[in-house]
Amino acid sequence: MTTLLTVEDLRVTFPTRQGPSEVVRGVSFTLGRERLGIVGESGSGKSQTGRAILGLTPPPGKAMAKVLDFDGIDLRAASPATWRTLRGARMSMVMQDPKFSLNPVMTIGRQLMEALKFGATQPRSEAKARAIAMLEAVQIRDPERVFRAYPHELSGGMGQRAMIAMMLVTEPDLLIADEPTSALDVTVQVEVLRILDRLVAERGMGLIFISHDLRLVSSFCDRVLVMYAGRVVEELKASELKQAQHPYTRGLMNCLPQIEGGQRPLPVLERDAAWAR
Amino acid sequence: MTALSRREWLLSDQPKSRRQARLGQVYRTWLAFRSNWLAMVGLAIVLILILVAVLADVIAPFDPVIGGDLRTERFLPPLSEGHLFGTDDLARDIFSRIVHGSRLTLMVVVLVAVIATPIGLLVGTTSGYFGGWTDTVLMRVTDIFLAFPRLILALAFVAALGPGIENAIIAIAITSWPPYARLARAETLTIRDSDYISAARLQGASSARILWYHITPLCLSSVIIRVTLDMAGIILTAAGLGFLGLGAQPPQPEWGAMIASGRRFLIDQWWVATVPGIAIFIVSLGFNLLGDGLRDVLDPKARK
Amino acid sequence: MGEVMLSVESLGVTFTRGGDTVRAVRGVSFDVARGESFGIVGESGSGKSTVLRAICGLAPTSAGRIALGGQTLATPRPATFYRQVQMVFQDPYASLHPRHTVDKVLSEPLAIHGFSDREARIEQALADVGLGPSFRFRYPHQLSGGQRQRVAVARALILEPQILLLDEPTSALDASIQAEVLNLLDRLRAERGLTYLMVSHDLAVVAHMCERLIVMQHGLAVEELTRAALAAHRAETDYTRALLAASAGYTPATA
Ligand SMILES: Nc1ncnc2c1ncn2[C@@H]1O[C@H](COP(=O)(O)OP(=O)(O)OP(=O)(O)O)[C@@H](O)[C@H]1O
Ligand SMILES: Nc1ncnc2c1ncn2[C@@H]1O[C@H](COP(=O)(O)OP(=O)(O)OP(=O)(O)O)[C@@H](O)[C@H]1O
Ligand SMILES: [Mg+2]
Ligand SMILES: [Mg+2]
Element (H or E) spanning A225, and its range? strand A223-228
CA dist B204 and C80 (Å) reads 9
- Tell me the CA–centroid distance for residue A173 and ligand 4, in Å: 31
Rounded to the nearest angstrom, the minimum Cα separation between C142 and chain B is 8
Q: List, for chain A, all residue ranges whose pLDDT scores fall below the cut of 50.
A: none
CATH 3.40.50.300 residue ranges for chain A = 5-90+173-276
> Are B193 and A58 inside 8 Å of each other by CB?
no
Q: What is the pLDDT of residue B69?
A: 77
Rounded to the nearest angstrom, the minimum Cα separation between C138 and chain B is 7
Q: Dihedral sign, CA of B73, B79, B84, B87?
A: positive
Provide ipTM, 2 decimals.
Answer: 0.87
Tens of pLDDT along B245-277?
777 777 888 888 888 888 888 888 888 888 988
- Write out chain B residues lying below 8 Å of A17, CB-based: 11
> Are C58 and B198 inside 8 Å of each other by CB?
yes
- Write out chain A residues lying below 8 Å of B193, CB-based: 104, 152
Q: What is the pLDDT of residue C222?
A: 93
Overall size of chain C counted in residues: 255
- B29 touching chain C per CB within 8 A: no
- A104 touching chain B per CB within 8 A: yes
Ligand 2: residues whose CB is within 6 Å? Answer: A 153-158, 183, 185; C 15, 17, 22, 24, 44-50, 201
- Write out chain C residues lying below 8 Å of A264, CB-based: 186, 208
State which of A155, A185, A189 you would mutate to test the pocket of ligand 2, scoring each by most atoms of that ligand within 8 A of its C-beta: A155
CA dist C253 and A197 (Å) reads 9
Strands (E) across B79-226 are located at none
Supply the pTM of this predicted model: 0.82
> For an interface test with A, which of B4, B189, B301 has the most A Cβ atoms less than 10 Å from its Cβ?
B189
- Tell me the CA–centroid distance for residue A155 and ligand 4, in Å: 5
Nearest alpha-carbon partner for C135 in C158, C156, C105? C105
- Find the Cα–Cα–Cα–Cα dihedral A227, A231, A236, A237, rounded to 10°: 70
Tens of pLDDT along A14-69?
877 667 888 899 999 999 889 999 998 877 889 889 999 998 888 778 899 999 99
Q: What is the pLDDT of residue C38?
A: 96
Rounded to the nearest angstrom, the minimum Cα separation between C234 and chain B is 36
Superfamily holding C4-246 = P-loop containing nucleotide triphosphate hydrolases (3.40.50.300)
Q: Residue C12 pairs with which residues in a beta bridge?
A: C26, C63
**Closest CB from B11, B186, B189 relative to A17:** B11
| In contact, C42 and C53? CB cutoff 8 Å | no
Displacement of CA A209 from its chain's centroid (Å): 5
Q: Using a 6 Å cutoff on CB, does residue A14 contact ligand 1?
A: yes
The CATH code of domain A5-90+173-276 reads 3.40.50.300
Nearest alpha-carbon partner for B290 in B123, B154, B109? B109
3-state secondary structure of A246: coil
Q: What is the pLDDT of residue C9?
A: 93
Question: Looking at the domain covering B45-298, what would its CATH class be?
Answer: mainly alpha
> Are B205 and C99 inside 8 Å of each other by CB?
no
Name the closest residue on chain A to residue B186, using Cα atoms: A105
Displacement of CA C215 from its chain's centroid (Å): 15
Amino acid in position B119? I
Q: What is the pLDDT of residue B304?
A: 35
- Tell me the CA–centroid distance for residue C140 and ligand 1, in Å: 14
3-state secondary structure of C170: coil
| In contact, B78 and B142? CB cutoff 8 Å | no
- Tell me the CA–centroid distance for residue A206 and ligand 3, in Å: 19
State which of A47, A62, A100, A209 you would mutate to test the pocket of ligand 1, scoring each by most atoms of that ligand within 8 A of its C-beta: A47
Atom of ligand 2 nearest to the CA of B193: 1
Chain B: partners with 3+ C-beta pairs within 8 Å: A, C
- B209 touching chain C per CB within 8 A: yes
| In contact, C165 and C131? CB cutoff 8 Å | no
Rounded to the nearest angstrom, the minimum Cα separation between C93 and chain B is 9
C64 Cβ neighbours under 8 A, 6+ residues apart: C8, C9, C10, C11, C12, C27, C28, C29
> Are A197 and C244 inside 8 Å of each other by CB?
no
Walking along chain B (304 residues) 10 residues at a time, the average pLDDT comes out as 71 78 85 88 94 89 80 78 81 89 89 92 94 93 84 80 82 88 92 90 91 91 87 83 79 84 82 89 91 79 44
> Are B203 and C109 inside 8 Å of each other by CB?
yes
Nearest alpha-carbon partner for B280 in B229, B233, B224? B233
Q: Delimit the domains of chain B by residue range.
A: 45-298
Q: Delimit the domains of chain C by residue range.
A: 4-246
Displacement of CA B132 from its chain's centroid (Å): 33
Walking along chain C (255 residues) 10 residues at a time, the average pLDDT comes out as 87 86 92 94 90 92 91 87 91 87 92 90 88 84 81 90 91 81 90 93 90 93 92 90 84 62
3-state secondary structure of A20: strand
> Are C202 and A186 inside 8 Å of each other by CB?
yes
| In contact, B293 and B286? CB cutoff 8 Å | no
> Atom 6 in ligand 2: which residue has the minimum CA distance?
A153
Chain C: partners with 3+ C-beta pairs within 8 Å: A, B
| In contact, B75 and B88? CB cutoff 8 Å | yes
DSSP-derived letter for residue A243 is G
Amino acid in position B67? G
Q: What is the pLDDT of residue C137?
A: 86
Give me the residues of B, 148-177, that contact C with CB < 8 A: none
